[in-house]
Amino acid sequence: MSNFFKETVDNLGLGVCNVDREKKITYWNKGAFEITGFDEKEILGNKFCFWNENCPVESALSSGEMRESNSVIECKNGKKINISYKIIPNMDKDKKIIGATIIFHDISKHIEIVRKVEELQQMASVDYLTGLPNRRMFEKSLNAALEEMHRGNKKFGIIFMDIDNFKKINDNYGHEIGDLVLKMVSAKLLSTLRPYDIVSRWGGEEFVALVSHVDRTKLFAIASRLRSMVDRMSIFNGECVIKVTLSIGAVMANENDSVQSIIKRADELMYKSKNSGKNRVTIEMQN
C-alpha cells in the first residue's frame, strides 16, 4: 500500500481492516485503532474476533457476498459501542475468495441522539402523570377517526368525563392524594375500555375516550360501564376511604363534525350530568 493511499485511508474517520481467508488481520488502519483502542502492533496477525457467534465476517468469506448491518462490539477498555459495518469479500483473478475488507464506524452518538428524540416525542404525546395519551395526541387520533368516517362511514362516539368534586379531594387530602386519584381513575378507564378504544387525559380532572364501532345504544352502555366501574373504586388514605364518581357526556360523531364541535357537544352534555346531580351519563338525543 502506498504512503499516500495509507494516509488517505487513515484519515477517513472510518475503521478499515483486511483479513485473510482464515480471518487473520493483515491490515488495521488508524481509524480502527481510534474506534476500538486496539493498535496495529497488538492486533495484526490475530483473528478478527469481535463477533463470537453468527460472525458476519465468516458469512461473507464463505458466501462471497457482501454483509452490511449494525452491531455492538467491545473495545479494548471494555466499553461496548454500536457500529455500522460493511464487509466486502476480496477475490483473486480466478474469483477465489482470499479474504475480506471490513469498514466500520462508531454510531453510538447517533443512536443516543435518536433515543433522546424518541423520548422527547414520547413526552410530547403522553401525559406525564397518568401515562395516557395527552390532549394533543388525542386530537390527532380524533381527527384521523373523523377522516376515516368520512371515507368509509365508520361510526364512533366520544365520551367526555369529569371527576366529581375533585377540588374537595385536593383541599381535604392534599395534591399527592389528588394525583393518586387521577392515576387510579386513568388505570380503571384504560382497563375497562376495549383494546382498540382510546382514552386520554384531556386536562385537570377531565378525561375523554374515542370509542370505535358503536351505535348510540352501545355507546351509552360503554359510558355507563365506565361510570359504574369508577363508582365502585375505593382509595384508602390511612383510615379514610375516598370514593370517586364521574359525570359523563356522550355523543355519536356525525358527518358535519370537527374536532372542536364534537368535543364541545360532549363537554356540554357532561356539564348537564353535573347539573343533574353528578355520577351519571347524559347521551345526546338521536337526530
Nearest Cα neighbor of 188 from 125, 128, 246, 145 is 246
Q: How many CA atoms lie within 13 A of 180 on its CB side?
A: 15
Report DSSP state, residue 241: E
* Long-range pairs for 138-142: beta carbons < 8 A, 24 or more residues apart: 138/198, 138/200, 138/202, 138/208, 138/210, 139/259, 141/198, 141/200, 141/210, 142/210, 142/259, 142/262, 142/263
Alpha carbon separation from 164 to 219, 251, 264, 280 (Å, rounded):
21, 20, 19, 10
Give the active site residue among 34, 112, 118, 205. Answer: 205
Surface-to-core class of residue 177, CB atoms within 10 Å of its CB (0-12 exposed, 13-18 middle, 19+ buried): middle
Q: Which residue in this structure is represented by grid cell 424518541?
A: 118
Report DSSP state, residue 65: -
| 255: annotated active-site residue | no
Sheet of 281-283: strand order equals 198-203, 206-212, 156-163, 246-252, 281-283
Q: How many CA atoms lie within 13 A of 253 on its CB side?
A: 27
Contact 240, 233 (CB under 8 A): no
Alpha carbon separation from 227 to 59, 76, 223, 260 (Å, rounded):
60, 61, 6, 24
Active site residues: 205
